[in-house]
Amino acid sequence: MSSTNKKPNIIIIVADDLGFTDTSAFGGEINTPNLQKLAENGLRFTDFHTASACSPTRSMLLSGTDNHIAGLGQMHEFAQRIPEKFANKPGYEGYLNFKVAALPEILKDDGYYNFISGKWHLGLSEEHWPDKRGFEKSFALLPGAGNHYKYFPKNNDGNYLNFLNPLFEENGKKLNPDTDIPDDYYSTDYFTDKFIKFLNSNDRKERPFFGLLTYTAPHWPYQAPESIIAKYKGVYDNGPEELRSERLNRAIKLGILPEGVEPHKVETQREKAWKDLTKQEKEIESKIMEIYAAMVEIMDKNIGRILDNVKELGEEDNTFVLFMSDNGAEGMMMEALATTAERFQHFVGTYYNNDFENLGKKDSFVWYSDQWAQAATAPYYMYKMWASEGGIRCPLIVSYPNLIEKKDDGQIKPAFVTVMDILPTILELAKVEHPAPFFQNRNVVEVRGSSWVEYLKNNTDYVHDENKITGWELFAQQAIRKGKYKALYIPKPLGTDKWQLFDLSTDPGETNDLSAVHPELLNELVNHWSEYVAETGLVECSDIFYEALKGEYEKKVLY
Ligand SMILES: *[C@@H]1O[C@H](CO)[C@@H](O)[C@H](O)[C@H]1NC(C)=O
């Protein structure tokens, strides 16, 4: 460990819908040597929490506060479908609002060189683009998802389709996808190329930098080069149940999960369990998982390019690198449901070719089943969009050689932390005060997260004390946590429609509802829930949410 007066460089890498145990550092079989090395040089967190979906998490990351305050109180794609609840509600603007001081805005004032490459999803209109929020250089896919290759279908009028609209901007200028995106575009490679270009730009001069790299991998549609997919041939032929138990075992061996942990039962919305699939159906399911794995491997390889680049610059020791997923693995095709199931079927049927031989190619459109998703989120219950742990507990790796001493094979850190903590952590490392209540001629809110610096230095064994209250809400699912206890409310038809109570210290799988055993504790947490609603201005919507979306939400217990 060396000390320095130089401001630290910051790199944050966000994966999209990556599962808890996908990478080898967390028990996965996918070839991810670069993240493995990052983990071995730094810290892996096992109790890191995000929101249950993408843009809300990103709003918390860049603001240090709750998504219901920062403008993503609900995924905008959904909020628009229920205007009677959400229209004109503060905190539901659908973009990173100006009540918050964004991390790059604050760092810019402190002399940082800020750049972003990848998905934005924090505002489609020009006045909300990254260059308006403190990023000096930007290359951004503005919506929540995109085709990974250059295949951007148009409708009969010659306009791009609304769904997966290839809206890109570069340094505040809207791009023409036909002419500005190269023919050999592949999202993960290209976002990395741009990141590396910004990192090495002469415009950086001697300034410390903050680089944000937001991959769209491994978000659907699953697409990857055949040569990488081929490396996973046969790996998934035993199905999701087998994969789940292999990963659980490895994660326990690594110390990511406690010995004897009881995983939650798997539930599915699909017709069939793996064992009931035909040979052909199994081949398709395996192939889909192989493509997914290839996408994760490609992401890891590109992360390696960046880490090598930082080393070449001689900045390795003075660079804080954080790698995270934005929410749990995706098991529900969530954004697709926002367009209604029929329109989505029509979209895939009209513009894509899902013949077996074509899977993974630029004009294929596949995603994996909720059973694969639960192989990735186990032992936690369910996946993205859920307020249960499967939706909100994510892998997190932090490395910063100037502060964090390398120990053996890396350290595994159990403290409860959230994505809102990242901003205050970085500000403390950069020795910058948060500007609230005034910033750039506007009122801004305080952060709700807490700095990890003392915890990273191993001076304390917690970040949030046992009285800290943390809430979650999206898609009408509600959760509130105090210390080791969590109250969870999942409305019909997905859940019991009642508050449940779990002790996460002994039951991270949320298998044993303690609400009848400790009614007084549940009562206390539900009171905290009301405070949380009042503090954040969140709009409760369990009364109409699933009704309004008319999705197909039947599910059954599998194993
Ligand atoms: C962290 O601090 C604790 C308590 O002081 C100590 O037992 C442990 O070895 C330290 N860990 C590391 C990695 O230095």
Q: What is residue 339's predicted lDDT score, i.e. its pLDDT? A: 60
Position 394, amino acid: C
184 burial via Cβ count (<10 Å: 0-12, 13-18, 19+): exposed
Residues of the chain with pLDDT under 50: 1-3
Q: In Å, what is the CA distance from 508 to each residue of 184, 261, 480, 514?
A: 44, 8, 15, 13
Instruction: Give this prediction's pTM.
Output: 0.97
Residue 92 is assigned to a structural domain of this protein: yes
> Atom 14, ligand 1: which residue's CA is nearest?
458
Whole-number Å distance between alpha carbons of 356 and 284? 7
Going through 290-335 in order, the beta strands assigned E by DSSP cover 319-325
54 catalytic residue (yes or no): yes
178 catalytic residue (yes or no): no
Cβ atoms of 14 and 215 within 8 Å: the answer is yes
Ligand 1 pocket residue status of 458, Cβ below 6 Å: yes
Element containing residue 251 per DSSP (H, E): helix 239-254
Structure tokens at 235: 């790996």
Cβ atoms of 70 and 97 within 8 Å: the answer is yes
> Atom 11, ligand 1: which residue's CA is nearest?
458
From 22, 131, 300, 326, active-site residue: 326
pLDDT digits (tens, 9 = 90+) for 243-268: 999 999 999 999 999 999 999 999 98
Whole-number Å distance between alpha carbons of 495 and 476? 11
327 catalytic residue (yes or no): yes
Element containing residue 429 per DSSP (H, E): helix 422-429
Q: What is residue 336's predicted lDDT score, i.e. its pLDDT? A: 55
Domain with 413 in it: what CATH number?
3.40.720.10
Structure-token match 């699933």, residue found: 546
Ligand 1 pocket residue status of 411, Cβ below 6 Å: yes
Q: What is residue 1's predicted lDDT score, i.e. its pLDDT? A: 45
> Atom 9, ligand 1: which residue's CA is nearest?
458
119 catalytic residue (yes or no): yes
Closest CA to 321 of 12, 4, 8: 12
> Atom 6, ligand 1: which residue's CA is nearest?
458
Ligand 1 pocket residue status of 165, Cβ below 6 Å: no
Ligand 1 atom nearest to CA at 458: 1
In degrees and rounded to multiples of 5, residue 214 shows phi and psi of -120, 95
Which are the contacts of 71, defined by CB distance < 8 A and separation ≥ 6? 59, 91, 92, 93, 94, 95, 96, 97, 99, 100, 122
From 49, 219, 393, 448, active-site residue: 219
Which are the contacts of 265, defined by CB distance < 8 A and separation ≥ 6? 511, 557, 558, 559
Whole-number Å distance between alpha carbons of 301 and 315? 20
Residue 557 is assigned to a structural domain of this protein: no
Which are the contacts of 311, defined by CB distance < 8 A and separation ≥ 6? none
Residue 476 is assigned to a structural domain of this protein: no
Whole-number Å distance between alpha carbons of 422 and 274? 39
Q: What is residue 523's predicted lDDT score, i.e. its pLDDT? A: 98
393 catalytic residue (yes or no): no
Q: What is residue 78's predicted lDDT score, i.e. its pLDDT? A: 84
527 catalytic residue (yes or no): no
121 catalytic residue (yes or no): yes
Q: What is residue 346's predicted lDDT score, i.e. its pLDDT? A: 83
Q: What is residue 347's predicted lDDT score, i.e. its pLDDT? A: 86
> Atom 3, ligand 1: which residue's CA is nearest?
458
Residue 512 is assigned to a structural domain of this protein: no
> Atom 13, ligand 1: which residue's CA is nearest?
407
Ligand 1 atom nearest to CA at 407: 13
Q: What is residue 408's predicted lDDT score, i.e. its pLDDT? A: 85
Residue 545 is assigned to a structural domain of this protein: no
219 catalytic residue (yes or no): yes
Cβ atoms of 393 and 329 within 8 Å: the answer is no
**Paired sense of beta strands 438-439 and 113-119, if any:** unpaired
Residue 430 is assigned to a structural domain of this protein: yes
Cβ atoms of 286 and 207 within 8 Å: the answer is no
Ligand 1 pocket residue status of 407, Cβ below 6 Å: yes
pLDDT digits (tens, 9 = 90+) for 46-68: 999 999 999 999 999 999 999 99
Output the CA 321–ligand 1 centroid distance in Å: 22
Residue 335's domain spans which residues? 9-465
Ligand 1 atom nearest to CA at 411: 13
The domain tally of the chain equals 1
Residue 44 is assigned to a structural domain of this protein: yes
> Atom 2, ligand 1: which residue's CA is nearest?
458
Structure-token match 């990242």, residue found: 422
Output the CA 455–ligand 1 centroid distance in Å: 11
Q: What is residue 272's predicted lDDT score, i.e. its pLDDT? A: 83
pLDDT digits (tens, 9 = 90+) for 432-452: 999 999 999 999 999 999 999
**Residue among 458, 461, 462 to mutate when testing ligand 1 (max atoms within 8 A of CB):** 458
Residue 269 is assigned to a structural domain of this protein: yes
Whole-number Å distance between alpha carbons of 365 and 35? 27
> Atom 10, ligand 1: which residue's CA is nearest?
458
Q: In Å, what is the CA distance from 52 to each residue of 60, 281, 473?
A: 12, 30, 8
507 catalytic residue (yes or no): no
Output the CA 462–ligand 1 centroid distance in Å: 13
CA end-to-end distance (rounded Å), the chain? 48
**Paired sense of beta strands 411-413 and 43-49, if any:** parallel
From 327, 394, 464, 486, active-site residue: 327
- What does the DSSP 8-state code read for residue 425? H
